[in-house]
Amino acid sequence: MTEIQIMVLPPPVEDLLPQIYLDDDGIWRDATASQAVVVNTQSKMKKDIEAHLDPLMRRVGATPPQPVQPESIGFRDPFKTMFQDLLPIDVRQALSAAATAADAKPAEPRPLLKIFLTPGADWIPWELLYDGKGFLGLRFAITRLPILKQATEVRGDRARQVRSVYSLLANNILQDGIFADWEGTFTQFARPANWERRFPAAAGQAFPTTTQLDEARDADILHVTCHGGMKDQGSDALHWTLDDMNRQVIDYRITASMAEHSEFGARPLVFGNACASTSAQSNPAVLHGFGPSFMVGGALNFVGTFAPVTRTMAVQFARRFYANLFGSGAAAAMNVSHALWATKKSFQAENANDPSYLFYCLYGPHDTTYTPV
């Protein structure tokens, strides 16, 4: 399988575009020097992308939903501009060559793109960058590998045994048939009743608090469906919440610090389904991510969204992802990176009018497998 590695480091001058290094046959080469002069800054690029995504996702999340076609020129064009402005020409050429070669061999695994990045580059929607032929998240299996000061354990056995699943659902987020679909996320797999602990356990029962998040420290998979991209008025600090209408934030707010102090014992897969909130109390941010924080807390892998997704997509995407990850019917199980890629491709094949399936990203080792026992 073809593998491309890039490293994203802070710029020499604050707010300029990051420095990007390319792994050239085992040698890290500073590709930034060959980058054309672009009058752009990180803050402007981020602001432009948020201004583009925010109204489109409000359309998709409206009642009734207003379709947005991901392949339309209106949706993809800003990400094509970002691809050209952000990535040096050497990196663009390497990506194009690898993806084109893979297109000629559709039966083989997709090429792997490893992105080593500092926390300051975590806002970049790598999976949405458009190279002229497609989104990188569809042309590559991508994993993000954060460069951290804190110690985190990613070595060891990549064939993980799933003995315990915790699934947490926020209040005020799913209704009617969507709730039933969420309940079936893991029950679609024939396992003992105590294999999954679900909160709420059934319709009408208590929704979870951060107590259940803390209790999940020994789980092999922690699946959280919550309100995401939240920030308080006058603050840039992002958080998730398990109840966007409850002012007792101490019981419901999930912060980056809380993720970093999770003290996971089983090196789990954490799946963060951060949905867009409709609460009048919310002040949503479009681009966000808790992947590095959960890895510091002991997660081996994190699958989540770099922007809030719609409620319907959150549930549908998770069900298909776990079917690919665990194997379903005659289909073989996949490692975590290809399970994520295959899930995205399934929505593309259906010509889905909700682009938020493109917002999912992976942190941690790409080749980890998770097998229910």
Q: How many domains does the chain have?
A: 2
Residues 6+ apart with CB under 8 A from 305: 228, 272, 273, 274, 289, 356, 359, 360, 361
What's the token pair of residue 105? Answer: 């061999």
Looking at every residue in the chain, the average pLDDT score rounds to: 89
What's the token pair of residue 308? Answer: 């809030």
Instruction: Please give the C-alpha separations between residue 126 and each of 67, 144, 277, 349, in angstroms, as whole numbers.
Output: 23, 9, 23, 21
Residues 6+ apart with CB under 8 A from 204: none
- pLDDT at residue 234 in the model: 65
Q: Residue 288's domain spans which residues?
A: 159-372
Record the pTM: 0.93
In a domain, 230, yes or no: yes
Q: How confident is the model at residue 152 (pLDDT cuts 50, 70, 90)?
A: low
Q: Is 352 left (phi over 0), alpha (psi -120 to 50) or beta?
A: beta
What's the whole-number mean pLDDT along residues 97-107? 92
Shared domain for 164 and 130, answered yes or no, is: no
In a domain, 316, yes or no: yes
As a whole number of angstroms, the distance between CA 228 and CA 250 comes to 16
Would the pLDDT of 121 be above 90? Answer: no
As a whole number of angstroms, the distance between CA 130 and CA 28 comes to 24
Q: What are the backbone dihedrals phi and psi of residue 291, each rounded to the nearest 5 degrees, phi first?
A: -55, -55
Shared domain for 345 and 206, answered yes or no, is: yes
Shared domain for 126 and 215, answered yes or no, is: no
CATH of residue 213: 3.40.50
